[in-house]
């Protein structure tokens, strides 16, 4: 009898926990553009800019453009940075667009939509503004750790190494729901430096497969209008450097500890 009561108690607790868990709303993804990219891009291109405000952060002096209509989102980041060296760094609004388009080509879903448009006679990049997610800087300065975040961190490192983005910092990594990193600010990417910006110890298997299959023609077709031929050639050279490092790590530690499904 006691054994039966204990079993009934265990089953009741398990059922109660299941009911509580079912009552909890699923955490909503901060990547609200995923699956709606054409709609978001059209809004970026065509919505009327009601006003511009200085954001107050960032060395490239971005502004926030408020839109009419205000749906599906009410504003975008406005960057007018002609391609060239500014303050000793290569900067270009076109790199913002290239970063987004390459993210789409690689099925990363980590970079918010960005398009080229004109505002008040200026040409620049309009980048979807995300309300809600905070940057790593705002949440304490440390990228989240643990198994749930491992895949996102590996993908971020691979993406930055491929595009030559030396400017990844706590201010341009946004924190979404568990396991979600959102990457912003790519105006200094797509440089012609073969050196990898960040060391790495592991790679994401699916992303590595897609990266290694990209041809030069694929890259030209995806980002050719936004970055020059030398930058594309350097991306392929950095990929060779990444492949050499992956090979070295596999030889040292074994494939299962380096290329993570």
Q: What is the pLDDT of residues 94-107, one digit of tens each?
A: 999 999 999 999 99
Question: Rounded to whole angstroms, how far apart are CA atoms 93 and 125?
Answer: 5
Q: Do strands 114-119 and 89-91 pair parallel, antiparallel, or not at all (unpaired)?
A: unpaired
Whether residue 1 is predicted with pLDDT greater than 70 in this model: the reply is no
Single pTM value for the model = 0.88
pLDDT, mean of residues 203-221: 98
Mean pLDDT of 145-149: 91
Confidence of residue 56 (pLDDT cuts 50, 70, 90): confident
Same domain? For 172 and 256 the reply is yes
**Residue 2: inside a domain:** no
229 in the same domain as 174? yes
Q: Which residues share a beta bridge with 49?
A: 67
Report the alpha-carbon angle 81-190-73, nearest 5: 55
Final residue belonging to a domain, choices 97, 128, 159: 128
Can you tell me the distance from the alpha carbon of 234 to that of 216, in angstroms, rounded to the nearest whole number? 11
Name the residue with tokens 């979404």. 176
142 domain residue, yes or no: yes
Examine residue 14 and state whether it is found in any structural domain, yes or no: no
Residue 184 lies in a domain: yes
Interatomic CA distance for residues 187 and 191, integer angstroms: 10
**Greater pLDDT, 56 or 224:** 224
Answer yes or no: is pLDDT of 89 > 90: no
Structural domain range at position 95: 37-128
Q: What is the pLDDT of residue 59?
A: 64
The whole-chain average pLDDT of the chain stands at 90
Task: Indicate whether 117 and 189 sit together in one domain.
Answer: no
Interior/surface letters 101-115, b for 16+ CB within 10 angstroms, e for the rest: bbbeebebbbbbbbb
Coil, strand or helix at 213? helix
- Shared-domain flag, residues 147 and 243: yes
**pLDDT by residue (tens digit) across 40-52?**
999 999 999 999 9
Picking from 109, 128, 147, the residue at the C-terminal end of a domain is 128
Residue 85: partners with Cβ closer than 8 Å, 6 or more residues away: 91
Could you tell me where the DSSP H helices lie in 164-228?
205-213, 216-223
Q: How many independent structural domains does the chain possess?
A: 2
Mean local confidence (pLDDT), 195-214: 97
- Looking at the fold, whether 99 and 174 belong to one and the same domain comes out as no
What letter does residue 200 receive in the DSSP assignment? Answer: -
Q: Do 68 and 47 share a domain, yes or no? A: yes
Token pair listed for 76: 């975008």
pLDDT at 85: 87
Q: Is residue 9 part of a domain?
A: no
- The confidence band for 24, taking pLDDT boundaries of 50, 70 and 90, is very low
Count of CB atoms situated within 10 Å of the CB of 41 = 17
CA 167 distance to own-chain centroid = 13
Helix (H) or strand (E) holding 41: helix 37-46
Phi, psi (deg, nearest 5) at residue 183? -105, 125
Name the residue with higher pLDDT: 5 or 211: 211
| Residue 87 pLDDT greater than 90, yes or no | no
Q: Are residues 71 and 142 in the same domain?
A: no
Lowest mean pLDDT across 139-143, 179-183, 221-225: 139-143
Domain end: 103, 128, 153, which one? 128
pLDDT value at position 61? 83
Please determine, for residue 21, whether its predicted confidence score (pLDDT) is greater than 50. no
Residue 25: pLDDT over 90: no
| Domain co-membership, 189 together with 94 | no
Say whether both 111 and 145 belong to one domain. Answer: no
* 59 and 141 share one domain: no
Is there a domain that residue 18 lies in? no
Report, as an integer, the average pLDDT of 76-97.
93
Please determine, for residue 162, whether its predicted confidence score (pLDDT) is greater than 70: yes
Q: What is the pLDDT of residue 16?
A: 31
Spatial contact of 124 and 80, defined as CB atoms under 8 Å apart: yes
Residue 3 resides in a domain: no
Do 153 and 232 reside in the same domain of the chain?
yes
- Examine residue 16 and state whether it is found in any structural domain, yes or no: no
Band of pLDDT at residue 160, cut at 50, 70 and 90: very high
- State whether 86 and 139 are in the same domain: no
State residue 26's pLDDT score.
Answer: 54
């Amino acid at each position: 009898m006691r054994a039966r009561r204990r079993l009934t108690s265990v089953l009741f607790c398990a059922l109660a926990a299941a009911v509580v868990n079912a009552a909890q709303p699923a955490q909503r993804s901060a990547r609200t553009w995923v699956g709606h990219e054409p709609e978001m891009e059209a809004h970026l291109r065509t919505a009327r800019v009601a006003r511009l405000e200085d954001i107050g952060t960032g060395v490239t002096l971005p502004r926030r453009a408020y839109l009419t209509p205000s749906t599906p989102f009410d504003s975008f980041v406005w960057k007018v940075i002609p391609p060239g060296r500014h303050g000793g760094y290569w900067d270009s609004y076109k790199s913002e667009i290239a970063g987004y388009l390459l993210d789409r080509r690689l099925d990363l879903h980590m970079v918010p939509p960005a398009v080229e448009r004109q505002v008040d006679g200026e040409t620049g990049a309009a980048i979807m503004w995300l309300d809600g997610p905070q940057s790593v800087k705002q949440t304490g300065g440390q990228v989240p750790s643990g198994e749930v975040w491992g895949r996102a961190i590996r993908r971020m490192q691979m993406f930055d190494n491929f595009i030559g983005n030396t400017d990844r910092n706590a201010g341009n990594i946004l924190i979404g729901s568990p396991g979600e990193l959102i990457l912003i600010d790519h105006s200094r990417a797509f440089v012609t430096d073969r050196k990898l910006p960040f060391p790495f110890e592991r790679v994401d298997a699916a992303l590595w497969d897609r990266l290694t299959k990209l041809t030069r023609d694929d890259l030209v077709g995806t980002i050719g209008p936004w970055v020059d031929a030398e930058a594309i050639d350097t991306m392929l050279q950095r990929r060779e450097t990444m492949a050499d490092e992956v090979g070295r790590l596999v030889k040292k530690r074994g494939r299962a500890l380096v290329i993570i499904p």
